[in-house]
Amino acid sequence: MPHRNKAVTKDVQDKLTPLMVLQDFIEGNSRFIRDEVHTIDHKALITQTTDGQHPKAIVLSCIDSRVPVELIFDQTIGDVFVARVAGNFENVDILGSMEYSCKVAGSKLIFVLGHESCGAIKAACDHVELGNITSMLDNIQPAVKKSETQVKGKHNSSNTEFVNHTIENNVRLTIDRIREKSPILKEMEDNGEIKIVGGVYHISSGKVAML
């Protein structure tokens, strides 16, 4: 099994391209599926990152307990920023966090990660209304509306095809809105300094399928 005892340094981060980071994530997910993740010297990584961090990427994920972000990409201390909200959509605070990650802290990749069997997506498909959950789910409605034009049959969570389309639409629309709402990130992407990509984590297999 591979072993990790070196944290990402500024030098290492500077030399990474967005494509190299994406490849690193894809290979990490492949190791995760094969149950061949790195053994980690946590103590060494804690010591090396005490005075600073140079993460390779920021991942926007759902809060779902079955999606342990670092683990599924075989990443560890100091490797990634992670923003989490039920339904993995952007908002002003998450956009600010992404701008910090890329423009200030030097990360090269924004990864929007949806997942199979997402409770937030299912609730949005069912138009659930409950406390603050109601306004949270409004963020997912554009994806639901798009699926309504694409999928036949029932437009609620009983229709797996409808739910799966909405999971994918939500990732794609979130990426579109990141580009629209953040001129900083759009410019960085246009200049080739970062990539903004999306994928769906399959909780039944451990695989991240790129969109």
- # residues near Zn ion by CB under 5 A: 4
What gap in Å lies between CA 173 and CA 194, rounded to an integer?
18
- Contact region for Zn ion (CB under 5 A) — 1-9, 18-26, 38-46, 63-71? 63-71
**What are 57's strand-pairing partners?**
80, 109
Considering the complex, state which of residue 60 and residue 62 has its C-beta at the smaller distance from Zn ion.
Answer: 62
Regarding 62 and contact with Zn ion (CB under 5 A), the answer is yes
* Residue corresponding to tokens 């200030």: 104
| Minimum distance, C-beta of residue 146 to Zn ion, in the bound complex (Å) | 18
What gap in Å lies between CA 164 and CA 115, rounded to an integer?
9
Among residues 22, 72, 118, 124, which is the contact residue for Zn ion, using CB under 5 A?
118
159-184: buried (b, 16+ CB within 10 Å) or exposed (e) per residue? beebbbbbbbbbbebbbebbeeebee
Among residues 22, 29, 64, 98, which is the contact residue for Zn ion, using CB under 5 A?
64
x-or-dash string of contact with Zn ion, 139-178, rule CB under 5 A: ----------------------------------------
Q: Are strands 3-4 and 195-201 parallel, antiparallel or unpaired?
A: unpaired
- Contact region for Zn ion (CB under 5 A) — 89-97, 119-127, 137-145, 173-181? 119-127
* Closest to 177 in 3D by CA, of 95, 61, 87, 80: 95
| Minimum distance, C-beta of residue 124 to Zn ion, in the bound complex (Å) | 10
Considering the complex, state which of residue 8 and residue 143 has its C-beta at the smaller distance from Zn ion.
Answer: 143
Regarding 80 and contact with Zn ion (CB under 5 A), the answer is no
Answer whether 147's CB lies under 8 Å from 155's CB. yes
Considering the complex, state which of residue 31 and residue 66 has its C-beta at the smaller distance from Zn ion.
Answer: 66
| Minimum distance, C-beta of residue 66 to Zn ion, in the bound complex (Å) | 9
| Minimum distance, C-beta of residue 167 to Zn ion, in the bound complex (Å) | 8
The residues that touch Zn ion, with contacts defined as CB under 5 A, are: 62, 64, 118, 120
